[in-house]
Amino acid sequence: MGLEFLSLFQLETKRLLWLIGITFAVILTFQYLEFPYGTVLLSLFSAEKIPTPGSSTFKASDAPSISELVNNVTLFNPANSTGDHAFEIANKTKSGENDTIPRIGLVLEPGSTPNNSLGLDGSDQSSKTKSINRSENVAETPQGGDPGPISFNNTIDLSFSANQFQEDNISSTEQKSGSQYASSTNVSTNIVTAVLSNDSSISLFQKDNTTNSIKEESIRSSQNDAKVSVPNEKKDSHTPIPEVTTVSEMNKLLLQSHNSYRSMRPSWFSAVDQELLQARSEIENAPIVKKDPNFYAHIYHNVSMFKRSYELMEQTLKVYVYREGARPIMHSPFFTGLYASEGWFMKQMEANKRFLTRDPNKAHLFYLPFSSRMLEETLYVQNSHNHKNLVQYLHNYVEMIAGKYTFWNRTGGADHFLVGCHDWAPGETKVDMANCIRSLCNADVKEGFVFGKDASLPETYVRDAKIPTKDLSGNSASKRTTLAFFAGSMHGYVRPILLQHWENKDPDMKIFGRLPKSKGNRNYIQYMKSSKYCICAKGYEVNSPRVVEAIFYECVPVIISDNFVPPFLEVLNWESFAVIVLEKDIPNLKNILLSIPEKQYLRLQMRVKKVQQHFLWHKNPVKYDIFHMILHSVWYNRVFSAPAR
């Protein structure tokens, strides 16, 4: 009897061990092959149960806490995308001369009442930003016979070699076949990789105009959110962002991002993903353009790649525009004032026949047709310093889109894009639209702009909606008698410094505050038309309509705005037709401009005329115009961020 019992015990023990072994084998197989809910099985043996986007979706209540997010900086990684729970915003309203759209009361959709569980109350929690020492910048060496870019980052070299100032031959077949895009450039150590990442360590800030103090508010996710895919966040890097990232460094960061950054892997692959990969291969192996009347090679990083990319966009790209959303925040274009870019793009995108598709399964991109300006006009309560209802509105909209369609969750929103020109657009979209391609006027390296994903949107001040190109061009170079011109309201901290050093100090420097009103703003326009250099100083934020205005009136733009990402940077070589001056060099501004020889100025001004075609609105879009360039920026970033199978 005892032997039988012992034999039975041993048999049951073996069965139990086999069962345990098979269970662990199944768990490891699920985890290794990334089957659905594999991480959930593994989490049975872990204290932290954090689902990943590749395995499942989860509600916002499952998201990491703010304290966890603040300690992390997400680096570029194929598995990473933007998962920020952060929002930076300024407590002010940027107003233009013709900004007269009234506030409108309406019943909003989707969602009827704000969700107070977001925790975006108006309380002021003071905090101070730490100062970060800026590394010295090394100037790039010009290549070929064409003079190198004009930039004044640390020191001014007043000596110029004779061969640098040979006139450009417009009909020449000289091309930059060995451009930055074709070469593999290592980013110097003083350029932080963190700039490439999604700025997941930044909390909700508000900038007080009177004290310049920074107020931090925490964001708590709603317990009742719809399921929306959210990417993993990398938690092993604490690299600081430099104080100033120069345009030369931005070009290197952009190149590096196109080599390394990938959006979230789709939940399932489709034909459109393969078309994007094919387009990337064709762009990278573009045939060399030796001569094309539409392009002047020196204003581009790589004219061959741009031409091929543009051709493929026309041949391939299909955009699906969501019809959902209530006016005036959705589907309500406007055509004048500071923020006209987003209105003109919305109108021309929704009316386009070449790129639109009614079948979302064929779409390479999905457009979210909301106006960041109308969001502020409609919902913001003046002087409340509280923006939670603006964020909540977009949160409800994304929930509705994600719940109604499968396409948002397929990529976590990575194939969706928005076009927003209001100063607050980066903060408004950082929470729920962080994965999207964001085309933003306020393109600031320090406020979460992601190279390789986001795009810089030109801020265009349109004065006449019927004739957007009215008063185009300016005086010839020989009739531009003023060295430099600026006029504008004293927004921000840079413009008062500019006036302190140059207002009424030098007859060659026409530097003013706000000019007296004149019919059609003629005084302002005439100054721009008759000046060699037009000063584009930042206001409250890094962007300024003067950059495009200078190009419009054929005046060489002088950009004074640290960390501003110029529009269409992935294509245009800004240092070849603009002068970029660091904010700290304002006291030396005249010497900087005078150090540019006359032949070099003539070259710059000629190139401004060549690049002008890319910054013009037309009532009906024209090839290579601003509408097509904005769409191309979004297309280009999507092509280079789409992950392989």
| 318: pLDDT strictly greater than 70 | yes
pLDDT band, residue 4 (cuts 50/70/90):
low
How far apart are alpha carbons 254 and 140 in whole angstroms?
16
Cα–Cα separations (whole angstroms), residue 404 to 187, 189, 407, 415, 477: 43, 46, 9, 16, 57
| 53: pLDDT strictly greater than 90 | no
pLDDT value of position 517: 87
pLDDT value of position 390: 96
| 327: pLDDT strictly greater than 80 | yes
pLDDT value of position 104: 35
For the segment 243-300, what is each residue's pLDDT rounded down to a tens digit? 899 999 999 999 999 888 889 899 999 999 999 999 999 999 999 998 999 999 999 9
Domain locations along the chain: 247-464+627-641, 477-615
| 530: pLDDT strictly greater than 60 | yes
pLDDT cut 70: percent of the chain above it = 65
How far apart are alpha carbons 463 and 485 in whole angstroms?
20
For the segment 78-89, what is each residue's pLDDT rounded down to a tens digit? 333 333 333 333
For the segment 419-473, what is each residue's pLDDT rounded down to a tens digit? 999 999 999 999 999 999 999 999 999 999 999 999 999 999 999 999 999 999 9
Angle CA 68–261–418, to nearest 5: 80
For the segment 195-204, what is each residue's pLDDT rounded down to a tens digit? 333 333 333 3
Mean pLDDT for 553-564 is 98
For the segment 581-624, what is each residue's pLDDT rounded down to a tens digit? 999 999 999 999 999 999 999 999 999 999 999 999 999 999 99
pLDDT band, residue 29 (cuts 50/70/90):
low
Pick from 228, 204, 224: nearest CA to 398: 228
Q: Which residue has the higher pLDDT, 388 or 231?
A: 388
pLDDT value of position 190: 35
How far apart are alpha carbons 462 and 299 in whole angstroms?
25
Architecture of the domain defined by 477-615:
3-Layer(aba) Sandwich (3.40)
Comparing 45-59, 515-529, 597-611, which segment has the lowest mean pLDDT?
A: 45-59
Burial class (CB in 10 A: 0-12, 13-18, 19+), 645: exposed
| 218: pLDDT strictly greater than 60 | no
DSSP letters of 517-566? P-GGGHHHHHHHHTEEEEEEE--SSS--THHHHHHHTT-EEEEE-TTB--
Mean pLDDT for 389-411 is 96
pLDDT value of position 158: 31
Pick from 329, 564, 581: nearest CA to 456: 564
Q: At what angle do helices 303-316 and 626-641 cross, to 10 degrees?
A: 90
Residue 199: φ, ψ to 5°: -80, 70
The mean pLDDT of the chain is 75
pLDDT value of position 28: 66
Mean pLDDT for 67-90 is 34
| 161: pLDDT strictly greater than 60 | no
pLDDT cut 90: percent of the chain above it = 59
| 635: pLDDT strictly greater than 90 | yes
| 112: pLDDT strictly greater than 90 | no
Q: Which residue has the higher pLDDT, 502 or 139?
A: 502
How far apart are alpha carbons 504 and 502 in whole angstroms?
6
Pick from 424, 469, 433: nearest CA to 454: 433
Burial class (CB in 10 A: 0-12, 13-18, 19+), 77: middle
| 305: pLDDT strictly greater than 50 | yes
Q: Which residue has the higher pLDDT, 149 or 49?
A: 149
pLDDT value of position 2: 62
